[in-house]
Amino acid sequence: TQEALARGRRAYELDRKHVFHSWQAQGPFDPMTITRTAGSRVWDGEGRELLDLSCQLVNTNIGHQHPAVVKAIQDQAADICTIAPQHVNDARSEAARLIAELAPEGLDRVFFTNGGADANEHAIRMARLHTGRQKVLSAYRSYHGGTQLAVNVTGDPRRFPNDSPGEGVVHFMPAYTYRSHFGSETEAEETTRALRHLEDMITLEGPANIAAVILETVPGTAGIYGPPPGYLAGVRELTRKHGIMYIADEVMAGFGRTGAWFAVDHWDVAPDLLTFAKGVNSGYVPLGGVVISEPVYETFVDRQYPGGLTYSGHPLACAAAVATITAMREEGMIENAARLGREVIGPRLEAMKAAHPSVGDVRGLGCFWAIELVKDRETREPLAPYGGSSDAMNAVLGAIRAGGVLPFANFNRIHVVPPLNIADADLHTGLDVIDRALNEADAHVG
């Protein structure tokens, strides 16, 4: 309506005057206004409908404004809006029960945080106190959050201006077959070589000094490059051998995104600590947390845990989590995500790769896919440099938006990360738009 558009224009003016935005040079930033959201769609400041294939920051796994979750938040608000973390609250207890039930066996205790970064901060703190060691090993080409320690374990250019050597973080090369650091030609080679490298890193850094290895099960923003077979089992074995805590960061990959409740389920590994956020309640109210294995829990049975947050296990967020998990179960969203990956997204991206010389690689599972664009398939030179953008990438993204689709993009990649309950017809429409937009990239090949 005209009134909604006028509200949107005023919101934009006030935003530019008073809102300081994440990760931006504030001056040139020209944010998009969103005036309405529903299911797989959002509407912009001009009232234009866009298919949301980004799930915002890959968090609205159940789509926008799911009625059961909206109602659960309203009901919880009418009952108890907030209560301090030291008190028992039924929404929190039930959310913890459900999360423990879904998590790998042996991970039964939940520490709630406000999001993913603080979940990783606390998982590392627990690992350090449990082992009595300080160092943390984490992967290059990763993202773990924007707070001080989380951004330092991150392996992405956003760390550079925040680098602080005092954090005790050492980076290693993860397994990434398409851009193998080890010159691997096959997945099996990549697994063997990446594990040998990690073992060398552990030896050279001193196993007795290493508290934790933190790893995204399927690295998200850094490229949705799933681990080759055997890699995670190898990480599990190496960390166990040396008494190092294995922290699985499932902030983006968890809660159905990959077509399983947790991505570790695909590779049948159980970490010592697992972190989550985003999909746990689709971000309707901020929530994250750490699921804790029994040995780590036992460290804090007689010893005080030195950490906490005013909003840990916030009732509104936990009620939203209970309703989200329930809706995902009742509506078969996990199975649907797996089916969409297998039957729709996978085959369609393979077809795009066959048709477009700019597509170097397509990969993913469930509703978690990346299209990696290159200038040259032989050299695999990316269409935009690491940490940067390019005219070619901007042209592709412009064409996707002009086609009515909101994409998620990073450097030379377009990520296809729709809601797990998107209608097949909508998904096909969105993929048609991306397919056509890739012509823009093809023009820059060679």
**Residue 322: CB minimum distance to ligand PLP, A:** 19
Is the CB of 122 or the CB of 444 nearer to ligand PLP? 122
Q: Considering beta carbons, is residue 52 or 216 the nearer one to ligand PLP?
A: 216
**In this structure, what token pair is assigned to residue 69?**
């979750």
Q: Kindly tell me which of 277 and 328 has the beta carbon lying closer to ligand PLP.
A: 277
Report which DSSP code applies to 243: T
Contact 124, 153 (CB under 8 A): yes
Of residues 293 and 410, the one with the C-beta less far from ligand PLP? 410
Q: How far is the CB of 358 from ligand PLP (least distance, A)?
A: 26
Task: Give the residue nearest to ligand PLP (CB).
Answer: 116
Q: Which residue intervals of 214-293 are DSSP H helices?
A: 231-241, 264-267
Q: Which is nearer to ligand PLP, 127 or 438 (CB)?
A: 127
Which DSSP string corresponds to 292-345? Answer: EEHHHHHHTTSS------TTTT-HHHHHHHHHHHHHHHHTTHHHHHHHIIIIII
Residue 176 CB partners (closer than 8 Å, separation 6+): 141, 190, 223, 225
CB of 249 to ligand PLP, least distance (A): 5
Residue 359: CB minimum distance to ligand PLP, A? 24
CB neighbourhood size of 153 (10 A): 28
**Which of 383, 378, 442 lies closest to 414 in space, CA to CA?**
383
* Minimum distance, C-beta of residue 251 to ligand PLP, in the bound complex (Å): 3
Q: Where is 216: in which H helix or E strand?
A: strand 210-216
CA distances from 63 to 39, 69, 215 (A): 5, 11, 27
Contact 52, 41 (CB under 8 A): yes
Q: For residues 43 and 255, which CB has a smaller minimum distance to ligand PLP in the complex?
A: 255
Q: How far apart are the C-alpha atoms of 407 and 394, rounded to whole Å?
A: 12
Tell me how far, at minimum, the Cβ of 379 lies from ligand PLP, in Å.
29
Q: How far is the CB of 217 from ligand PLP (least distance, A)?
A: 9
CB-based contact 334:342 (threshold 8 Å) = no
CB of 153 to ligand PLP, least distance (A): 10
Q: Are 365 and 258 in contact (CB under 8 A)?
A: yes
* Smallest distance, ligand PLP to C-beta of residue 344, A: 24
* Closest to ligand PLP by CB, 122 or 144: 144
Return phi, psi of residue 250, to 5°: -115, 30
Q: In sequence order, what are the beta bridge partners of 289?
A: 112, 276
Q: In this structure, what DSSP letter does residue 133 have?
A: -
Task: Give contact residues for ligand PLP (rule: CB under 6 A).
Answer: 57, 115-117, 120, 143-145, 216, 220-221, 249, 251-252, 277, 288
Residues whose CB falls within 8 Å of the CB of residue 418, separated by 6 or more in sequence, listed in order = 40, 52, 53, 55, 340, 367, 426, 427, 430
Compute how many other C-beta atoms are within 10 angstroms of the C-beta atom of residue 73. 18
Select 192 or 217, whichever has its Cβ closest to ligand PLP. Answer: 217
- The residue among 61 and 192 lying less far from ligand PLP, judged by its C-beta, is 61
For residues 95 and 134, what is the distance between their CA atoms, to the nearest angstrom? Answer: 31
Q: Closer to ligand PLP by CB, 143 or 255: give it.
A: 143
CB 145 to ligand PLP: min, Å: 4
Q: Which residue has the tokens 């409908």?
A: 49
